[in-house]
Amino acid sequence: MAASRYLSPMNESKRMILGAAGLGLTPDEIAFYRGERPWGFILFARNVGEAAQLRDLTAAMRDCVGRPDAPVFIDQEGGRVQRLRPPLAPNYPPAAALGELYRRNHDGGLRAAWLMSRLHAFDLTRCGIDTDCLPVLDVPVEGAHDVIGQRAYGRDPETVAALGRAAAEGLFAGGVLPVMKHIPGHGRAGADTHFELPTVKASLDELREHDFAPFRALRDLPMAMTAHVVYSAIDPTNPATHSAKIIDGIIRGEIGFDGLLMSDDVSMKALSGDFASKTAAILAARCDLVLHCNGVMEEMRAVAGASGPLSGKPLERAERALAARRKPDVTAEAAARAEFAGYFEAAA
């Protein structure tokens, strides 16, 4: 993929992150991205073929918006949520396996969490992907839907915060930016937000002590993704993604997160309304960016039509987020893979 003939400043971007339909960009997608200028892109399994194809795809995305620094996101957690699979990446264990290791051996669990993220960074960067929607900082409770389940590091805030920090640092060490999710906490949700909107009825004190705690501990991370969840003790009408009370009062206020805040996928069934109205509500609630994942052109056009330019505080946060990227360290990949495997061979 040839380098772009032009460079576009970030303040010409719109407040959105978009997906694509397939393994390569169509002429319609190229024209659309060039005209509407999303701030970043996100990949799913439908976009993943082999390494050279991914490098071409991510380069084409950045070329369309004239920004070599345009972030390309992916959900590469391990367990059931892992977009790169063999031979591009091994099948990694879920977060819960790291939590079990940590329960037996704190130092070993922290090291394994760091190593797994460092290995993710090797896998992702060789394909042109530079941002991972990890760590998952949700803390499940008994009776909650298993949409989080094994994706969580544990069922207590201290374990989740400790392993989440190690995972984030492993990504940083490999030159990949982390995105913590799903702020202010998805662990109590009784429904899968891909299909319906859950309401959490816990008191504010319970939420503060349990759900918010890992996010508060990692509030210095550069990016976070919202939860499509109603917290009736705070805003009984709107999910966090659409709630200024939650974004201003809880996420920015009590939790103290001042990084770049993006919505969870606007195409999930938890949010009601058409795409223009959902996008407008997200931005009105002072979420910085709208995330749209499925690559459906009609929906993306509606999101773009309701998404204004990246400016003011959202632009400042976007600039800070990209500036947080670190140069990869000198970790040797083969040695790291052997060390990581050893933790789970010993546990078998």
Residue tagged active-site, from 63, 75, 123, 264: 264
210 is catalytic: no
φ and ψ at 285, to 5 degrees? -80, 0
Q: Identify the CA nearest to 128 among candidates 33, 211, 51.
A: 51
pTM over 0.75: yes
Residue tagged active-site, from 28, 106, 194, 274: 194
All structural domains of the chain? 10-347 (3.20.20.300)
Cβ-in-10-Å burial (0-12, 13-18, 19+) of 229 comes to buried
The 10s digit of each residue's pLDDT in 278-324 is 999 999 999 999 999 999 999 999 999 999 999 999 999 999 999 99
* Model confidence band, residue 160 (pLDDT cutoffs 50, 70, 90): very high
What is the C-alpha separation between 26 and 345, in angstroms, rounded?
Answer: 45
242 is catalytic: no
The 10s digit of each residue's pLDDT in 186-195 is 999 877 778 7
The 10s digit of each residue's pLDDT in 114-157 is 999 999 999 999 999 999 999 999 999 988 788 899 999 999 99
Q: Identify the CA nearest to 306 among candidates 270, 275, 266.
A: 275
Specify the pairing of strand 76-78 against strand 81-82: antiparallel
Q: How many CB atoms lie within 10 A of CB 60?
A: 20
